[in-house]
Structure 1
Amino acid sequence: MNTAGAPDLVDRIQREWQLAYPGLDMRPIGVLSRIQHIATLSNHRLDRSLEPHGVSRSEYDVLGALARADRPLRASEVVSTTLLSGASITKITETLSRRGLLERRRSERDGRVVLLQLTDEGRRVVDVELPRRLADDERALSGLTAAERETLSTLLRKVSSAFGG
């Protein structure tokens, strides 16, 4: 396993870019490529873990949004709490409904509004996967102190904000 100070794949890529374009500052690659690499690895692990449930990462995001809510949600509310588009949410919720993982029902106050709510089976998927995912994330961060984690979180929030997120 790589130690924190040992050169990694991103160092190599950054060095290669620097050799190819010596007049450009390649330092941003060292940060953003690592973020991208970490996200890719984390998503790959999540995909493998969700496979036995027959649930995609996007479907799990929808189930997670519903699990976090203390009430049924409109599709637009799910859009606002995930990184998915409205069209994606519609398609995903129809699939999850057919598979019995969520329920789609009309609002009693306004029949035009469709409310989404987890079924017991949908809740079970989240109940099984969330602790597993948190344990996996904890292993990934285990080399950092609590102060380092807080600093990293603060710095990443600044980077995310610079991208408009």
Structure 2
Amino acid sequence: MLDDEVHFLLMRAFNSSNRAVVERTGAMGLLPGQPKVLEYLSEHDGSRATDICAGCVLDKSTMTSLLSRMETAGLIERRRSETDGRASMVWLTAHGAEIARLMRESIAGVDDAAMEALGKEDYRRLAALLRRATVAFDRCKTSRGPERPAS
């Protein structure tokens, strides 16, 4: 039954959480994907786009489009790396940092709802279990599943 399958339950939980985040951040004028980038840059300002991709679990083509729109909106700026002239670093603008702060306050309510439903101890335990499960899932990406039967 699907309600007993961890991958399915995680997908449903992600979709529910993501809808709540998109609803709150959309009201702030942010497009899907932009909140993740703002959160990442809040903790890792001055990052390379490839690092943001990895940290936000986004592909390069999606990231390129997101960063262009965010730059046009005045949320981020790209500057040449001081150590590698070929590399570009992504920084929050003052406006972007303020939007990130307001956004984090707004979406904290999504996590608060989960904590209220689970209780503080189970909430922390769930976070720890999800970190462990993520490591296991990342290992699965490199292993192949069962072979398909010949037709």
Please report the TM-score for the alignment, with normalisation by the length of structure 2: 0.79
How many angstroms does 1:139 deviate by?
1.8
Look up the match of 2:13.
Answer: 38
- C-alpha separation between the residues in 1 aligned to 2:91 and 2:66? 13
User: Residue in 2 aligned with 1:111?
Assistant: 85
Of residues 154-163 and 94-103 in structure 1, the stretch that sits farther from structure 2 once superposed is 154-163
Change beyond 3 A, Cα 1:151–1:67: closer
SS at 2:117's partner residue?
coil
Correspondence 1:58-73 to 2 at 5 A: 58-69=33-44, 71-73=45-47
1:148 match: 122
- TM-superposed deviation, 1:27: 6.7
Question: Partners of 1:156 and 1:33 in 2: how far apart?
Answer: 14
- Structure 2 partner of 1:164: 138
Identity across aligned pairs (percent)? 24
Q: Which moved more, 1:48-57 or 1:95-104?
A: 48-57
Deviation per residue, 1:113-146 (Å, 9 max, x gap): 1111001111121111101211221122213233
1:54 pairs with 2:29:
yes
* Structure 2 unaligned spans of 5+: 140-151
Q: CA contact under 8 A between 2:114 and 2:123: conserved in structure 1? A: no
Measured after TM superposition, the shift of residue 94 of structure 1 is 1.4
> Equivalents in 2 of 1:72, 1:156: separation in Å?
28
**Residue in structure 1 matched with residue 148 of structure 2 by the alignment:** none
In 1, Cα distance between the equivalents of 2:117 and 2:27? Answer: 30
The alignment partner of 1:164 has SS state of: helix
**5+ residue gaps, structure 1:** 1-13, 15-25
Q: What's the TM-score, normalizing by structure 1?
A: 0.73
RMSD of aligned residue pairs (Cα, Å): 2.1
| Runs of 4+ residues over 6 Å off in structure 1 | none
Higher relative contact order (CA 8 A, sep 6+): 2
Answer with 1 or 2: which has the greater Rg.
1
Relative to 1, partners in 2 of residues 1:87 and 1:162: Cα closer, same or farther, differing over 3 Å? same
Q: C-alpha distance in 2, partners of 1:84/1:27?
A: 27
Q: Distance in 2 between matches of 1:44 and 1:128?
A: 18
Aligned counterpart in structure 2 of residue 79 of structure 1, from 33, 44, 53: 53
Q: Secondary structure at the match of 1:116?
A: strand
| 3-state secondary structure, aligned to 2:56 | coil
CA contact (8 A) 2:3 2:9 kept: no
